[in-house]
Structure 1
């Protein structure tokens, strides 16, 4: 495969995903969608269509291939290490009040939408199945670590463990993964009409979620961003993917497993980071800037990473 073929293959993976983000940005600018639509659609995706998509992708997958405990453990381990490294950097570089939002913006990926969409675009059903399991696993860790770091550095935040545990237990994405695993492992089959209806419903998830992300982007807000925002995005888009991917290569991961790991590590800062920062009394404006800048920047960094890994014939 020559460089031009690798470049085309890269575009075939990244462009369909980021094109939907740009569609959302354009639709918001011309007034075809508004904030009320985005709020309703985002809630629908989070509570219903995405859990349906994850459930169906897992029960229809070959668990012997998609469920890889060593891969899950590695992904969670790198997530924890990146959290600790970003925390150490924040202590050295930033004021006490800004450390929590920096760390959250630097380590928390948008796995549930962007990462999953990229995995599905690149590897189809396998990407959805493995990505769904990884996303369901890491959501718990993301919530716990974000709550800890925001509680430590935000002046109005309080550690509320019962509320945190309740949010985790009620998370629809986690519940869908937990419900799908026994169904898949026991080999239970659902009626064909139910599977078809579920696939129709679940297929709304990724395009609708990506359009909502595009609708929330505001390029103008990035202009007022600080070096803290830029630094957090560099951590999220460059240093964390580099650390995670190089580690995976050294451990011998190749092909689809390495590709999904890279896409999840390289995904931009999760939109829910804004909600958690606001609830903790942290600087939600800077958090929003991190989300916008990392989402726009990931269009370049994800494409470049895929190109390099494909050129080296590692994925």
Structure 2
């Protein structure tokens, strides 16, 4: 029941975020403030607190690294094959990237932190860091190549390497590996700030969700939802089981890859010639459907 109540509260926050945006309370300026608070303050604090007391060897096991990249690139390959039949490049490119591009930062790590212990959260933070290094460059490459858009991967890589999330992860692992003491007051303050990561992120996601129903391509939408919400976490389950991952690694891997399509894919689609309405609808539906699928995975994982 606790899992059901937790997910119901997550859905409620998404609805509140959407309602505040529709009612004009969260206009563009306020939504940006909320997004900055989550992205630059709460989420980095959560990641640092979950990793600063642990060394790299405790978190980054060979099983984790191999499992993460097998699941990520395996899903990406399946997405290329499944969506190659679409004639419209703008839709094909979006369908492909939204089938593997997960909302690991705004939903994944905060959800794991709210549900499991610090060790699982630390592993989830490492997954976020590893996948971020390949997820965004691959998405930019796919969209720009298929749509003939003009962009540079160098700028995207520079932006990734300077993100607060990755900096917080490196700082936390560095402090933990070197055994640098963190004052209790500092750790407690960061822990308190980090607890706001999930509600802030959900309000941000909710305020950004949009639906455009007039021209729905049901087959393409079903393909994206099926790959992202069912195939990717199922593949994660199979891969980490085959690799005999420990319980914490298995749990973090499955839950992180069970998250919906990232809202940022809509932004990338808008900038790089993708189908914006199609991208927006997929973000909304994968987020909505993931509430049910995450309930199943969290219940089974305990």
Fold-level match, TM-score > 0.5? yes
User: Which residue does the alignment assign to 1:186?
Assistant: 178
| Alignment partner of 1:221 out of 212, 215, 230 | 212
Deviations 1:21-68 (A, max 9, x none): 233234444554333222221122212321122112110346554333
Mapped pair 1:292 → 2:272: no
Structure 2 equivalent of residue 22 of structure 1: 15
Unaligned runs of at least 5 residues, structure 1: 1-7
Counterparts of 2:21 and 2:90, CA distance in 1: 33
Q: For residues 222 and 49 of structure 1, what CA distance do their matches in structure 2 show?
A: 34
TM-score for the superposition, normalised by structure 2:
0.90
Cα displacement string for residues 121-165 of structure 1 (whole angstroms, at most 9, x for unaligned residues): 22132232111111011111101110111111113x124132122
Structure 1 residues 31 and 61, CA gap change in structure 2 (3 angstroms) = farther
How far is 1:222 from its partner? 4.9
- Residue 46 of structure 2: aligned partner: 53
Contact 1:123–1:256 (Cα < 8 Å) also in 2: no
What is the distance in 1 between the residues matched to 2:6 and 2:243?
A: 25
Alignment of 1:270 onto 2:262: yes
The CA RMSD measured in Å over matched residues stands at 2.2
Matched pairs, number: 301
User: Which residue number in structure 2 is paired with residue 102 of structure 1?
Assistant: 95
Q: Is the CA contact (8 Å cut-off) linking 1:274 and 1:288 kept in structure 2?
A: yes
Give 3-state SS (helix, strand or coil) of 1:25's partner. helix
- Of the candidates 72, 88, 92, which is equivalent to residue 85 of structure 2? 92
Distance across 2 between alignment mates of 1:73 and 1:261: 11
C-alpha separation in 2, matches of 1:61 and 1:26: 40
Offset of residue 223 of structure 1: 6.3
Asked if 1 retains the 8 angstrom alpha-carbon contact of 2:54 and 2:177, the reply is no
2:166 is matched with 174
SS in structure 2 opposite 1:130?
A: helix
Q: Does 1:259 align with 2:255?
A: no
- Which whole-Å CA distance do the structure 1 matches of 2:182 and 2:249 have between them? 28
Give distance in 1, aligned partners of 2:213 and 2:297. Answer: 24
Alignment of 1:115-194 (within 5 A): 115-155=108-148, 157-194=149-186
Give the TM-score, by structure 1 length.
0.87
Task: Give the unaligned 5+ runs of structure 2.
Answer: none
Q: Which residue of 2 aligns with 1:195?
A: 187
Distance, in Å, in 1 between the alignment partners of 2:57 and 2:11 is 31
Tell me which residue corresponds to 1:77.
70
Q: Which runs of 4+ in 1 moved over 6 A?
A: none
Decide which of 30, 35, 41 is 1:42's aligned counterpart. 35
Question: Please, which moves more after superposition, 61-70 or 208-217?
Answer: 61-70
Name the residue aligned to 2:107: 114
Whether the 8 Å contact between 1:109 and 1:268 is mirrored in structure 2 is yes
CA–CA distance in structure 2, aligned partners of residues 82 and 66 of structure 1: 24
Which of 221-230 and 160-169 deviates more?
Answer: 221-230
Of 208-217 and 86-95, the range deviating more from structure 2:
86-95
Q: Which residue matches 2:296?
A: 304
User: For residues 11 and 240 of structure 2, what CA distance do their matches in structure 1 show?
Assistant: 26
Q: Are the equivalent residues in 1 in contact too, given 2:108–2:259 (CA < 8 A)?
A: yes
User: 1:236 maps to what in 2?
Assistant: 228
